Amino acid sequence: MRSIMTSHAERIRALGARATPARLAVLRLLETAERALSHHDIEAALAGTGFDRVTLYRVLDWMVENGLAHRLTDAQRVFRFSLAASNAPAHNSHAHFRCEACGKVFCLDQVLVQAPALPQGFSGKSVELCITGQCARCEGQDAQQS
């Protein structure tokens, strides 16, 4: 685990960029996150560090551009970011689950998505599957309440 963390800086520099505190912090945060984080989530989690809003946006953009993270748009029209598995070139087929109750978005890595047949002339590049419903925790709470 330690070797992974120290290699963060090297991995960033290998992309021809600088290993700045902001990039390291976001990279570490996404690595430990079990779900796709919004910019708001990230800002809150790193509140103590004093990074500027804009810096976080730019770090996230940079990560997406360089294939370190994936950006998806949730149903509330906010961007969410999840770390891209470094050894998953076929990460195109990514499934997500959004909980209607708590609003969190989970990555369903074990769900395989295959591209369906398209109309004549259309060419698909990536497929995104998003399931909406209730997550395990909210499902339990909901049963208690109502």
Query: Least CB distance from residue 25 to a copy of itself, whole Å?
Result: 25
The DSSP code for 72 is: E
> By CB under 7 A, what part of segment 106-135 binds DNA?
none
| Greatest extent of the chain over all pairs of C-alpha atoms, in Å | 54
Residue with tokens 């891209």: 84
CB nearer to DNA: give 21 or 133: 21
Is 17 near DNA (CB under 7 A)?
Answer: yes
What is the contact surface with a copy of itself in residues (CB under 8 A)? 73-79, 95, 97, 100, 108, 110-113, 115-137, 139-140
> x/- string (CB under 7 A) for DNA, residues 56-75?
-xxx-xx-------------
**Residue 33, binding choice from a copy of itself, DNA, none, Cβ under 5 to 8 Å by partner class:** none
Distance CA 29, CA 32 (A): 5
DSSP codes of every residue in 68-108: SEEEEE-TTS-EEEEEPPTT-TTTTSEEEEEETTT--EEEE
CB nearer to a copy of itself: give 15 or 113: 113
Local structure of 23: helix, strand or coil: helix
Query: Least CB distance from residue 39 to DNA, whole Å?
Result: 4
The DSSP code for 101 is: T
CB nearer to a copy of itself: give 12 or 107: 107
